[in-house]
Amino acid sequence: MPDNNQKRTFLWGNDRRFNAYSNYFRRKYGARVQKVSIDAGFTCPNRDGTKGSGGCTYCNNDAFNPSYCIPEKTVAKQIEEGIDFHKWRYSEAVSYLAYFQAFSNTYAPLGTLKKLYYEALDHHGVIGLIIGTRPDCIDDEKLDFLKELSSRYYIAVEYGIESCYNRTLQRINRGHTFEDAVEAVEKTAELGLNTGAHFIFGLPGESRLEMLDQAAVISALPLTTVKFHQLQIIKGTAMEKEYQMNPSDFELFSWDEYLMFIISFLERLNPDLVVERFTGEAPPGFLTGAGWGKKRTDQIVGLVEKKMEELDTWQGRLFKGQ
């Protein structure tokens, strides 16, 4: 067994077993930086009829939107309430990132985006933006504007990619291909913008091996940050109906299974990629089934790190490079 009393320093400059998002900002700014979510009232092209209707089959934004995120409120009001919401838990945070989270937050004319983004950036304590969007909702004009903003603020564009397999993207009604995602990521990164991506493990029709094989594909993308979630079947979604009809098509993870899977995935992941999170958390009332009981995100992170220490492994241990 390894001697865990002998701490080692990994490529990201500390002894944590993965390249953690919170440490990334501490290195960058010398203190904790807290995200504050915003629902600015956007929609998506696979919801409004442009590419389809109904949205992604797994999606119910109410399952992850904080209670203060109501699009009828101004951006400034949501930031104020979001800061108050987080103060009790993250009292050491002195700077904030306005996180445009719900739906596709570049899916509007540039003039509309400028008004909303500047309203967020004008708030005292906000040092930048994280903009969640889709690969097919970005263009050169918007990227050039974000590039200009990045000379004064922290700017990150976070793309929902979800899977590297086009058959999966079609099945979950994404309305874009993986090639679209690669193009958007490469264009964004070429401008020097912080570029993030979101993926889901357990989507229907994908085997565990196929999920694991995505580590090499993701590692080759010019990303700054990555975010991974286990699939959760959310009540009231199209996927809930699909799951009820064809449960054998889904490789849902038990907690013990996911613990070992995510460690195996992290071992194969490029150590330069900053990992924002590797699980998702929805309120129990939204879930079909028992989920993982009462485990909260912070507790899960601790359990993963403890297991990685027991196994003496770390992010990128099996990464083969480019």
Fold adopted by 21-311: TIM Barrel (3.20.20)
pLDDT of residue 90: 63
pLDDT of residue 281: 82
Instruction: Encode pLDDT of 245-284 as tens digits.
Output: 999 999 899 999 999 999 999 999 999 999 999 998 877 7
- pLDDT higher than 60, residue 4: no
Determine the pLDDT at residue 298.
85
60-88 average pLDDT score: 83
The predicted model gives 158-166 an average pLDDT of: 98
Looking at residue 1, what is its pLDDT?
46
Mean pLDDT of all residues in 122-150: 97
Widest distance between CA atoms in the chain: 59
Split at pLDDT 50, 70, 90, the class of 288 is: confident
pLDDT in tens, 75-86: 999 999 998 887
Which class for 275: exposed (0-12), middle (13-18), buried (19 or more C-beta within 10 A)?
Answer: buried
